[in-house]
Amino acid sequence: MDTKSDSIALFIDFDNIEIGIKRGYNRSFSIGPVIKELSEMGTVVVRRAYGDWVSYQAYREGLIEHGIELIERTAITNSGKNGADIKIAIDAVDLALKNDFIDTFAIVSGDSDFLPLIQKLREYGKYVTVISGDGFTSPFIMKNCDKFISYETIAGIEKPHEEKKKLKDAIELLEKVILSRVDEGRGLHLAAIKNQMLRLDPSFNEKSYGFSNFGKFIRYIGDECLLPIKIHTRDSGDWYLDYFSDDDEMITSEEYQQREPNLREWGIIFGTIERCFREGEGKYTQGWYQYLIAYLTQQRREGKIGLDQNSLRAALHRLLDYGILLQKNPEKSLEKSVFQLSGTYAEKKATFMDERYRGL
């Protein structure tokens, strides 16, 4: 579901990537994960690495085995700078101008000096991918390329706990994209969704969160009820996403009634709310209004509740007024609120149900 390219040109600023990985993780740079990742996007037709190959003698054999052309850039300053960034920029622009068939330029470096090159290549209509370490890549590079690939992720380097990306950030990015396209109706193309996520945040990569592909990432979000979504395939073999909002027409039907829940339905409503909180424990979406509604809607689809959507909302409002549910952020509208159970939930539930029973 990634952007596919027929031809890729790879340029490696070896000094930058090797020093960054060595300093950050006390490990040697490996070209294998880079080639494997790019090969999933297309064919790597140009493979060049720029560096002082006298100093990096130990890497020569492994790079050559992967078809990498070694471009010698001996250090020319006392600080060790070898001008690799300038040479890469000249060669990349020359290649872009002379070879229209090359769609993607992959730059292995986190150096901010490559920002003008990235902007120029994109101006020429090229897709620019940057591969580098999370900890030493310029944020300007991450935000201005078309796609950023974390070297740590593809190389299986375990990062310190505090550096691990939070799934919450990816979910918020996904929801932002979905809501921006919700007027298109159901059946949003998964590839288009990922492309838009990458435009908003080129550093997004589902592998950073433990998913081998984008489809598995989306399926997990839906299966865990982290967003009200589901995916399906069509005859073409492409995958699409459906998003269900709180007032989705799909969950409104003439057979459902606008009325007060009966005693049996109140019992189901309480049990469903408790399950929603229980299954949401530890997740940042626990207690979200839209998920409480989604859980109750599922009970209705299974024929256990005969209430229409307005009546389900009214039931939640009744529990809020009674103090059984508490609003964590009262400054927000109910539809955007997060709820928690009252500290005396069991007692208030018993009193509430007793009042319903005595009213029969």
Reply yes or no on whether the pLDDT at 231 is more than 60: yes
Which tens digits make up the pLDDT trace of 96-132? 999 999 999 999 999 989 999 999 999 999 999 999 9
Reply yes or no on whether the pLDDT at 283 is more than 80: no
The CA-based angle 274-279-284, given to 5 degrees, is 110
- Give the per-residue pLDDT at 241: 83
| pTM reported for the whole predicted model | 0.54
Q: Which domains does the chain have, with CATH numbers?
A: 7-158 (3.40.50.1010), 167-243 (3.30.420), 249-358 (1.10.10)
Residue 90 CA to residue 85 CA, distance in Å, equals 9
Please, are residues 107 and 117 in contact by the beta-carbon 8 Å criterion? Answer: yes
Which tens digits make up the pLDDT trace of 59-91? 999 999 999 999 998 766 544 555 789 999 999
Q: Which two tokens stand for residue 197?
A: 């996520």
Please, are residues 35 and 159 in contact by the beta-carbon 8 Å criterion? Answer: no
Which tens digits make up the pLDDT trace of 234-279? 777 788 887 765 544 443 344 567 788 988 889 999 999 999 899 8
